[in-house]
Amino acid sequence: MAVGTRSPLNRNEWGVTLVESALILVLFLTLLLGVMEVGRFLNIRQVLTHAAREGARFAIAPGSGTNTLPDEDQVSAKVETYLLAANIRDAVTTVKCPPSATEVCTKDPAMAIVTGSVTTEYTEVTVSTTYSVLSAPGLFKALEVNLSGKALMRRETSE
């Protein structure tokens, strides 16, 4: 029984193999960078939402033994601390509160809802930043997107 031997590739086939490998490698790296960017985009969006929720939770709870709520600067500092832990900088934080609020914040009549004889007051915290592609920053300038996270919570003070 004769065992067949494989003939070595001739020189023309080496070039074809090299070109095919280069094309596959480019496609694979493009796919890999795309998956990484989508993951980073979703991560930043989630961190902004969590930072807004953390800021809103801080904004509605009075200090221990008091009825005083934190002002916008204190809430922004709390959100900034959360964002720096996730390595996000240059985010803008806005705090909306009802017109009857005594702390410093953006007064918004929509933050007080009257239902019969009961008025429920809310505080809204919005955190926003610009997302830009990290893989190839110069090539995808048009892909900058404004991301934001928003949280709305009922105020916990008792009058």
Tens digits of residue pLDDT in 72-119: 999 999 999 999 999 999 999 999 999 988 888 889 999 999 999 988
- Is the residue at 82 inside a domain? yes
Q: 112-149, pLDDT tens digit by residue?
A: 999 999 889 999 999 999 988 876 666 666 678 899 99
SS3 letters across 29-76: HHHHHHHHHHHHHHHHHHHHHHHHHHHHHHHHCCCCCCCCCCCHHHHH
Here the tokens at position 42 are 């979703």
Buried residues in 53-77 as b, exposed as e (16+ CB within 10 A): bbbbbbbbeeeeeeeebbbbebbbe
Domain encompassing residue 61: 14-154
* Full-model pTM: 0.79
Q: How does the average pLDDT of the chain come out, rounded?
A: 86
pLDDT band, very low/low/confident/very high, at 69 (cuts 50, 70, 90): confident
- Is the residue at 2 inside a domain? no
- Dihedral (CA of 6, 12, 18, 20) sign: negative
- Is the residue at 1 inside a domain? no
Number of domains present in the structure of the chain? 1
- Is the residue at 52 inside a domain? yes
- Is the residue at 91 inside a domain? yes
